[in-house]
Amino acid sequence: MLSSEFNKNIQKVLVSYKKNAGEAYETANLIPGLLKKYGVESVVRPSMDITRADTDGVGLVIVCGGDGTLLITFGMIFPLEVPIIGLNFGKLGFLVDIPDYSKEEVINAFFDGSLDFTSRMALDIYINRKGETISKFVALNEATIAREKSIRARVIDLTVYVDEMWLNDFRADGLIVSTPTGSTAYSLSAGGPIVQPDIESFILTPICPHTLTNRPVILNPCELRIKIAPQERDIFMSADGREGVALMDFDEIIIKKHPSKVYLAASFSLNYWDILRSKLKW
């Protein structure tokens, strides 16, 4: 999808950067000057300090940092549905792969309508307690249910339903529900498969399962219901690695495909397979 689909009547751009990262900060503060010729207002903020007022009227987000900065920014701007350009600092990222030195080129390409964007699916996550939703999240990479890291390792029991049909009772250190975009993140570290990011699916990856036959499962997008069994209350649910929510006995986590897409700027010179080979050192 070309930026000509997005660049009409844009009046405000949010520029997000990794906090306490000198080069990212410097680039973020250069970008408003590059946008002036397009008559566009800019707001520059550290990713963790974005407020709802910062997102009002925004038609484009530019992220200066790495994959983590983009994920934080995504969580802060939700439910804003706008294209995202990621300028990379340091190591090549799966989500942020346009080099800093191409900042002017990529901005010009966006406004002349030639910048390509890829669409990614996201997760809608609800935590229900006693029949009421107590928390709601959106995730681009994954939802993780696990014990707090400071607690000594013990398996947890999770019952999983797919569209109200019982799938399995998992005994494991935790469970990751990932998008294809997140298949190369935490899920991969836990032994999950790599899934091409434009395939819409859920990936269920148990973390250190107690039973070796509990293997990763790839599902069509569905309504996934995960029920917490009675046990000690030191279990948390986190989205994209953000601060978790403590879960209690019989809590249910409902995960669905988010109705909106996430649009990420594509690299100028590298395709997904180039990035995959580079990251995995194939």
> Alpha-carbon distance 67 to 231, whole Å?
35
Q: Do the Cβ atoms of 176 and 142 come closer than 8 Å? A: yes
First vs last C-alpha separation in the chain: 29
Which is nearest to 261 in space by CA: 119, 51, 113?
Answer: 119
> Alpha-carbon distance 152 to 159, whole Å?
22
Question: Degrees (nearest 5) of the Cα angle 171, 174, 177?
Answer: 115
Token duo for residue 266? 């594509």
**154 HSE (CA, 13 A, CB side):** 11
How many CB atoms lie under 10 A from the CB of residue 202? Answer: 24
> Alpha-carbon distance 274 to 48, whole Å?
30
Phi and psi of 114, rounded to 5°? -100, -5
> Alpha-carbon distance 229 to 272, whole Å?
39
Out of 67, 97, 240, 251, pick the active-site residue: 67
Q: Which one-letter amino acid corresponds to residue 256?
A: K
SS3 281: coil
**Active site (annotated) includes residue 67:** yes
Bridge-based pairing of strands 84-88 and 60-65 is: parallel
Counting every residue, how long is the chain?
A: 282
- What are the residue numbers of the active site? 67
